[in-house]
Structure 1
Amino acid sequence: MAPAIITLAADAPKLDTGSTAFILISAALVMVMTPGLAFFYGGMVRVKSALNMLMMSFISLGIITILWTLYGFSFAFDSGNGFLGGTDWLGMRDIGIAELWPGYGIPVYVFAVFQLMFAVITPALISGALADRVKFTAWSLFIALWATVVYFPVAHWVWASDGWLFKKGVIDFAGGTAVHINAGAAALGVILVIGKRNGFKKDPMRPHNLPLVMLGCGLLWFGWFGFNAGSWLGSDGVAAVAFINTQIATAAAMLGWLLYERLRHGSFTTLGAASGAVAGLVAITPSCGSVSPLGAIAVGVIAGVACAAAVGLKYRFNYDDSLDVVGVHMVGGIVGSLLIGFFATGGVGQTAKGVFYGGGWHQLGLQFIGVGSVLGYSLVCAAILAKLIDVTMGFRVTDDEEVTGVDQVLHAETAYDFAGVGSRSAASVPAGSSSDAAASKKVDA
C-alpha cells in the first residue's frame, strides 16, 4: 500500500479526477473478490456445507463494513502511535467531502472505501480453514473480535505513516503481511483450538462443484487487479507495472503448481490450476510494486511450487486446514514477502533493492521482521479468541449436526434442490408411457 506522505501546504496536491475514478473502480473490483472467494470456497466443500461456506464470506461484508465505519478506519489509518491509530475518525465523522488523503489527489472517503474492501475479505479468507464444523454465530462473533484486535492494528502497523513496521521500512505493497499472512496465521490458530473434522484423513472430502471453484478463481483473478494496481493510489506507470506483474506471477504460479502436481501425483487437475493461480496472486501481492516482470515470473513459479508442497503438510502434522488457507495464503504470503528481499529492483514503486540487485541483506532482514511479527501476533490472538468463544458459547457444531450437514442445521436450506430436476408433471405424461414408467421408478427410488 502506498504510504501516506505528509506534504507542505504549498506542495499539497489537487483533486485528481482520473486517480479518483481509478481507485473507486479498484474498490469495486476488490469488493467482487469476496463473492468470488465465496464461490471458490463454496465449490471446494462437500455439498452439505456449500451454503454455509458462501455465508461465511458474505457475512463479512455486513459485519466488517459496520465496524469499519464505527471505528475500524480510525484505528487503522488515523494518526496515533506505532501500534494503533487515533479516534478522530470514529464514525467517519469530521471528514470533509473535499478533503484529500495526505500526499495524494484522491478524497479521504475514496481511500476509506478502498481500504474497507481489504478489511472485508481478510477475515473471510480464514473461513476456508474451518469448513464443515463451526457455528455461524460463533464465526460471526470471531470475525468481529479478530478484526478489532488483529486486523485494524496490523493494517496500522504496515500501512499507516506512523505504523512501526512502515517506519522500519518493511515493504508490503498490497497485503502480503496485513492480509494473507494475517489471515493464514489466524486460520492456523483457530484450527489448533477447534480440532479436526469428523473423518479427517479417513473419509473422502472432495470438492462437490469444480466449475464453481473455477468461477470463483476467475472472479478473484479479475478483482485482484484492483487489489494490487489500486494500492498505488494513482493511475500511472507504477500501477501499470503492478497490474502486469499480477498477471505474470499468477500465470507462472499456475504453471508451477501444475508441473509439481504432474510430477508428484501424475495429473494436471482443475483444482490445482485454480489453487496455483490463487497462490500466485497471494505471493505477488506484497511484491508487485518492487519487482520487474521477470522477477514476477520467479515469484510466481517459486510460490506455485512452494504452496503446492505446503498443502500436504496438514496430513504430516495432523492439523485440519479444510481448504488449504494455511498452505496457500500463509505460505504464499511468506514467500512473496521474503522474495522482495531478493528481487526488489529499486526502480518500480520502491527504492529498496534486494540481494540480486546489489542491495545486500538489509531489506530481507526487514521482511523477516514483518513476516514474523504479523504471523506470531495473529496466530496467538486468533487462538486466544477462538478458545474464549469455545468455552463460553461453543465454536463447533455437534458431531450429529456435522454429519447431517451445516447447511440444513444452521441455515435450514440446501444448495441444490433435485426434487423436480428432469421430470414433468403427471398431467403432462400420457398414461402407460415409458416416460410415465420412468417417472414412477424415480419416485419409488
Structure 2
Amino acid sequence: MWFRRKTSKKPSRRPTIHPQPGTLAPDTMSRIQRVRLPVDLLTPGMRVVKLDRPWTEVPVLFQGFTIETPDQARILRQYCEWVLVEGDDEILSSALDKVALHKQRTSRPMSETRPLSKEIPRARKAWNNTQVFVEQVTRNIELGNDLNLQDARPIIRDCVESIKANASAMFWMSRIKSRDAYTAEHCLRVAIFTVAFARFLGMPDEDLEIAGMCGLLHDLGKLKVPPEILNKPGALSREEFAIMQQHTTFGYELLRADTTLDPIIRDVTRHHHERIDGSGYPQQLQEWQISRFARLVSIVDAFDAMTSDRCYRDGIPASDAIRILYQNRGRQFDTDMVEAFIRMVGIYPPGTLVELTTGEVALIVAVHPGKKLKPRVEVLLDTEKRAVTPRTIDLANPTPGEQSEITRPLPDGSFGISLQARIHQLVTDHRVYPS
C-alpha cells in the first residue's frame, strides 16, 4: 500500500509556473529547468513537482519526488495526462525531442507488422481463449467459487501481441456479436478496444497489458446484478436503476479481495461510469478525480454498449454512436480522448461491409486517422455483385484506375457476404497454406 507523507516545509513564494506542454520554464534559483510533459514521456531521473490533479488523487508516496523506478512512472501514466517535471538539460532533452512526435501520434495509422490475412488466425485463437476465460469467471461467480484473476494476464498478453501486429484483426473479431452473451462478450470487446486505444494514444507497451485487464474486468460486477434487472426489456424503474448502478461497487468489492491486482484495475471497475461534469456514478467525481485509465475505458464501454445488440434492443450503427460520443465530449467524456477514439475507429470501423461508387462490395480493413472517409478496403464482389479474388485498395492512396469512394455501409450478410464467413475463410486458408 502507498502512504503519503505530509511535509512541514513552508510553501514557496515563487509564482506558479504554467508552461505550455513541451516548453521549458526557467528556474531563477538554479540551472534546473522545469517543463510540462505528457506522462508517456517520463523517464527515471526526472523530478516530478506538479500533477494535473491534486496529489491526494494519485497513490504516490510523496508530494514531489524523483522518478527512480519504472513502477513510479507507470502509476503516473495510469492516473495523469501530464505532469510538471524539473531536471537538467541532459535529463530533459531526450523527452523534449519526442514532444512534437507525441502530439502527432493520433494522426497516423497504427503500425502493422503482419498483414490482416495472416494475423486473423492468431487473433481468433486469442479471442476464443479470452472468451473461455470470461465464461469460466462467470460460472465461478455464479457458484460462489474463488476467482483466480491472474489467469487473465497471459490471455490478455496474447491479445496485446495480436493488436501490436495488426489491430484490425481483433477489430474484425469484435464485430461478431451474440445477443445472448452480451455481458461476457462486452467485457471481451472492451478489453480489445482498450488495448488498441491505449496503443493508439502512444502509451508504452508495458501499459497495454494492464489496460487490457482494466477493460476485461470493468463490468465484472454486473454478474452480481439480478438477471431480471440486467436483461429487462424497456426502461428500468428508479429502484431497479439504483440496483443496476451498484454493479460498479459489486465489481470493486470482487476485485478488492485480490491484492495481487494492480490498484488501477479496481479504480477503473469502480469509476468507469463517472463523468467529467460530475453527473456519473457511484461517487459523482469531478474531472480531476477520474483517472486517465477510467476516462479511457468509459469511452470504449459506452461505444460498445451503444453498438451492441441486446436481448431487448438492437445496437445502433457505429456512425451514430460516434456522433453521440462527439456531442457529449467535454461534458460526459474527455474531449481529447473522444476525438482520438474517433480517429482510431473511423466513420466506418474495420469489419464494416460497404458499397463503393464503382458498385463493388468490400470490407473495411483499416482506417486512416487523418482521412476518416478513405480507409483501406478489401474488395470481395465486383460491380455486378459477383465474387472475385479478394484485393486490397487504399482509398486514401489509390493506384491509377482504381479511384473510388464509399457510397454507403451495408448490413452484414448483404449480397451473401458476411464478416464471419470471411474470417473462417482466412483461418482455413492459413491452415492449408501456413505462413
Q: Give TM-score, length-normalised by structure 2.
A: 0.27
From the two aligned structures, give the one with the greater helix fraction.
1
Point out which structure has higher relative CO (alpha carbons under 8 A, 6+ apart): 1
Q: Give TM-score, length-normalised by structure 1.
A: 0.27
From the two aligned structures, give the one with the greater strand fraction.
2
